[in-house]
Structure 1
Amino acid sequence: MNQIVLAVIAYAVQRDIDAAKLCQLAGINLTALKKTDAPPVTQQQLDALWLHGTQLSGDPLFGLHFAASVQPAALGVVGQIVQTSATVGEALTHAVALARQLTEQCRMEIARNSKNFTVRFMPATGDVNAPTAAFRTLVELFMVITIHEVSGLMLAKIAPLTVRLPYNVPDVAAYEQIFRCRPTKRAGEYALVFDAHYWDEPILTANYELQTMLLKKVAAMTQQEPAKTVNNLQTRVYNYLLANSYLGIISLEEMAANFNLSPRSLQRKLKEEGVKYQEIADAVRKSLALYYISSGSYQLKDISYMLGYNELSAFTRAFRRWTGSSPLQYQSL
């Protein structure tokens, strides 16, 4: 649970929330929390963290937007899952067992038939139909992470067949965008339903290595590019895209939601700074592409998928536009 709390605080900082103020309001000692032997955060502190994060950001969907942006590797379980799994089904089965490393408040189970498989999320105690705000946010977090990781294991954007929640969501369009499927209300159930053919799909273990390399790249770029510490909107968007570019670059609509703006308002504010969202996204893609290719360790098709291109040809055209040469030509330099 402490890993989740640290990730929430890091996300809050990206949203221009003062970490010290947030921790003070939530009754959390940040210095102590960073220690490996730190005592677990209490339920009261977690409830306060979500509450004050929502208030300080001015975003009623603060928790959901955090779920959409979180890097599962930062929670410390993805590597264990990948290293012990050959297929998506095995990875999910291991994830069920490892979930308790993150929290004791929620447990998972999987049910299968010939047409689909269902991943259910249940409270360890309490009524699933009357969840606290903190538990509701926690389960939504695990559900979004599951969707992203099924995609990440296959390097493809996978959407569930069905998303079930025991309540009516406050913003259907926002939930549909993040869950990749319009949620339906069903009493007593938090569940994701996927097509059965994904179960036996082999996972691409290189994806975890790419993600690890990306996290190192983010840290390196923070040190190497002091100009990027300027606190204007385009810099914040650039840094957000870079830090959350696992499985591609998010859309303008998703970025606007994470900054609690409408897409039109985000475009207008960026225009006032003399830049377009697509230009910032391309700058991040170019930076990551050059880094990945220079490493010499990964196939071009994997790099193109990581940067959000469905076809290698599309990545090649973009790379030629950025550099004047093809990825293959750049590799041979």
Structure 2
Amino acid sequence: MEDQRKRMALNLLAFAAQRDADVPQLCRLSGFPKGLPGKEPVTPRQLEQLWLNTGHMLNDPLVGLHLGESLQAAALGVVGEIVQSSATAGEALTLAASLAHLVTDLFTMEVVQHGKSFTVRYVPLKDQTSFVFRQLMDFFMVFTIHELDGLLLQKIKPKAVRFPYTMGEPAEYERVLRCKPGRRAGEFSIEFDGRYWDEPVITANYELQRMLLQKAHAIAPPAPEQSLHARIHHYLLTNAYLGIISLEDIAANFNTSARSLQRRLKDEGVKFQDVADDVRKTLALHYLSSGNYPLKEVSGMLGYNELSAFTRAFKRWTGNTPGHYQQN
């Protein structure tokens, strides 16, 4: 559990930095006087304090929900790598459930098929009332949905999401979980349409993700020098295996409103659409250069409903049509 606690701590600190938190101060408050966790193990107490202080510093009582929305399978280390090697979504979820104990000791996971649906249940092993437990449960539930997105390269909408208590901000839970949360005594669960069970897992997106992460880290200036639009570009690029997310989703992950985000970008002389288009261009060039994707598939992955719209955009970016670029 020590390595997983350290991995979670580093993910949480990176998320806090992305949202303009004072990371050195956060480390000191959470029991890391020397800064980021190093070779020494992270204790349960330190991780608990880190969750509490991150939520307080970001003024975000739903920090677990938003952290889960922002991470990829790499955040789970070896478990994520194993899940990515699965043949189908059902196999991936079953594997994830069997390996959950490597990631957390707060709950176990089980996957149950029934009729035309299947349900992922999270069975608590410890106290369900603490702030940290709720943040971790939120994190893993939304992470499950977003991981399915990445495995299948499509945006998955659950049939039902259930908690044993009433949510404090139901609208935000509905936005992130893409389903109005329901209440059922003693149950944390997500129900999915059965058609996803045998859907083949698409692994090429993870190869793309690794390339994008390397590219983004290579071009990103040091954190103190980063402008808002550079940080948004970095976020879109490193999460691009799920598609280009909306302005509203970006704003939520940066702990602000869509209007405030647009205003701050305007002060830097750029629009959100310009940043998103630049990321789409980077993705389009990579997809087409790889030769692994038909033009229509590339168009869909970049969020264009019509191939003609993608062709016009690509010609505006490069002066060539995507077909001509791919041929040459």
Q: Which of residues 321, 324, 328 in structure 1 aligns to 2:323?
A: 328
CA contact (8 A) 1:4 1:102 kept: no
CA contact (8 A) 2:89 2:148 kept: yes
Q: Which of residues 193, 196, 199 in structure 2 aligns to 1:195?
A: 193
Partner of 1:8: 12
Greater Cα offset, 85-94 or 240-249: 240-249
Report the TM-score, using the length of structure 1 for normalisation: 0.88
Greater Cα offset, 26-35 or 162-171: 26-35
Partner of 1:161: 159
Paired residue secondary structure (1:181) = coil
Map Cα deviations across residues 91-150 of structure 1 (whole Å, 9 max, x no partner): 111011122221222210111111211101122233xxx421111111111111111122
Map Cα deviations across residues 168-198 of structure 1 (whole Å, 9 max, x no partner): 2222221111111111122211100001111
Partner of 1:231: 226
Aligned-pair distance for 1:82? 2.4
Partner of 2:218: 220
Partner of 1:152: 150
CA distance in 1 between partners of 2:74 and 2:307 (Å): 26
CA distance in 1 between partners of 2:222 and 2:16 (Å): 22
Q: Does 1:251 align with 2:252?
A: no
1:117 counterpart letter in structure 2: F
The correspondence of residues 55-74 of structure 1 with structure 2, limited to 5 A, is 55-74=56-75
Partner of 2:24: 20
CA distance in 2 between partners of 1:196 and 1:245 (Å): 26
Change (3 A) 1:311 1:22: farther
Q: Which of residues 58, 81, 84 in structure 2 aligns to 1:82?
A: 84
Aligned-pair distance for 1:310? 5.2
The correspondence of residues 62-211 of structure 1 with structure 2, limited to 5 A, is 62-76=63-77, 77-83=79-85, 85-126=86-127, 130-211=128-209
CA contact (8 A) 2:110 2:121 kept: yes
CA distance in 2 between partners of 1:34 and 1:246 (Å): 30
CA RMSD of superposed structures (Å)? 2.4
Map Cα deviations across residues 272-296 of structure 1 (whole Å, 9 max, x no partner): 3222111111112212322343344
CA contact (8 A) 2:66 2:139 kept: no
Q: Which of residues 291, 313, 321 in structure 1 aligns to 2:286?
A: 291
Aligned-pair distance for 1:227? 9.7
CA contact (8 A) 1:118 1:191 kept: yes
CA distance in 2 between partners of 1:304 and 1:211 (Å): 18
CA distance in 2 between partners of 1:311 and 1:201 (Å): 24
Change (3 A) 1:239 1:209: closer
1:45 counterpart letter in structure 2: Q
Change (3 A) 1:177 1:328: same
Paired residue secondary structure (2:240) = coil
Q: Does 1:262 align with 2:257?
A: yes
Change (3 A) 1:121 1:20: same
Greater Cα offset, 316-325 or 160-169: 316-325
Paired residue secondary structure (1:246) = helix
CA distance in 2 between partners of 1:81 and 1:210 (Å): 17
Gaps of 5+ in 2: none
Report the TM-score, using the length of structure 2 for normalisation: 0.89
Gaps of 5+ in 1: none
CA distance in 2 between partners of 1:227 and 1:320 (Å): 33
CA contact (8 A) 2:209 2:238 kept: no
CA distance in 1 between partners of 2:239 and 2:16 (Å): 14
Partner of 1:319: 314
Q: Which of residues 237, 240, 243 in structure 2 aligns to 1:242?
A: 237
Change (3 A) 1:188 1:235: same
Paired residue secondary structure (2:123) = strand
Change (3 A) 1:79 1:312: farther
